[in-house]
Amino acid sequence: MASVDGKWALITGSSRGIGQQIAMGLAAGGCHVILHARRVEHLDQTMALLSAASVNIHRVAGDVGTAEGRSAIVQGVREGPNQVDILYNNAAIMSPWKELWDISEADWQQTFAVNLFGLVELCRALVPGMWSRNFGRVINVSSGIKDIPQLAPYSVSKAAVEKYTADLAAELRGSNVLVNALDPGWLKTDLGGPGADYEVETVLPGALVPALLDEGGESGTVFRAQDYRVGRARS
């Protein structure tokens, strides 16, 4: 298993929830982290949690659902380490709960802008640098959601995330840039809600597995964080 020690990781949506856990997990492995949220002040809690970590921390802000927000994020990276070795595309929104027939085009547009186009454009901006440096790990956060038509824009956006992940992996085949998706499990976060199956901490250590792959490791697959849950019975 490779080490993340000394690498730079951008974790989108690391102000709370799953992204915050991933940032802490990567930092515990010696990885320098670029934290991200829509506004830099949203990152105060994560900064406090990382106060004892002996890694470099840089902060960027921007709405991944808009071109301006994505430009601000990329500009923020350039003004900081100017390098991303691990891109953890985690930021996303849940679409509003509506009967399928009531879901508007605007609902679809907004969900796809944040959950799909944000991630596609960040890959387009940052993956060529990984390719030229011959190292990169891209992890796109997906979901195991199914058969909930009231949340169709969200679930369809995540299906598209997995398809894009496979296409990007195919484009990069033979290089040392590995691209995978992560299904974190249903977790108690602002997005997952209080009735979710598991605590948010259970996303670790599984969420780190696709970041720790050796050269030649899997690419284009979906990792399931709950398969690595501490204390989970192995079959």
Ligand X SMILES: NC(=O)c1ccc[n+]([C@@H]2O[C@H](COP(=O)([O-])OP(=O)(O)OC[C@H]3O[C@@H](n4cnc5c(N)ncnc54)[C@H](OP(=O)(O)O)[C@@H]3O)[C@@H](O)[C@H]2O)c1
Question: Rule CB under 6 A: which residues touch ligand X?
Answer: 13-19, 37-39, 42, 63-65, 90-93, 114, 141, 143, 184, 186-187, 189-192, 196
Pairing of β 177-183 and β 222-224: parallel
Residue located via tokens 């508007």: 104
Q: Which is nearer to ligand X, 55 or 203 (CB)?
A: 203
Least Å distance, CB 119 to ligand X, is: 9
CB-closest chain residue to ligand X: 17
Least Å distance, CB 66 to ligand X, is: 8
Least Å distance, CB 152 to ligand X, is: 14
Q: What is the DSSP string of the chain?
A: ----TT-EEEETT-SSHHHHHHHHHHHHTT-EEEEEESSGGGGHHHHHHTTT--S-EEEEE--TTSHHHHHHHHHHHHHTT---SEEEE----PPP---GGG--HHHHHHHHIIIIIHHHHHHHHHHHHHHHHT-EEEEEE-----S-GGGHHHHHHHHHHHHHHHHHHHHTTTSSEEEEEEE--SB-STTT-TT-SB-GGGGTTGGGGGGSPPTT---S-EEEGGGG-TTPPP-
In the set 88, 154, 164, 198, the catalytic residue is 154
The yes-or-no answer on residue 164 being catalytic is no
Q: Which is nearer to ligand X, 114 or 176 (CB)?
A: 114
Q: Which is nearer to ligand X, 124 or 173 (CB)?
A: 124
Least Å distance, CB 173 to ligand X, is: 25
Q: Which is nearer to ligand X, 167 or 190 (CB)?
A: 190
Q: Which is nearer to ligand X, 55 or 181 (CB)?
A: 181
Least Å distance, CB 198 to ligand X, is: 8
Which amino acid appears at position 23 of this protein?
A
Residues designated as active site: 154
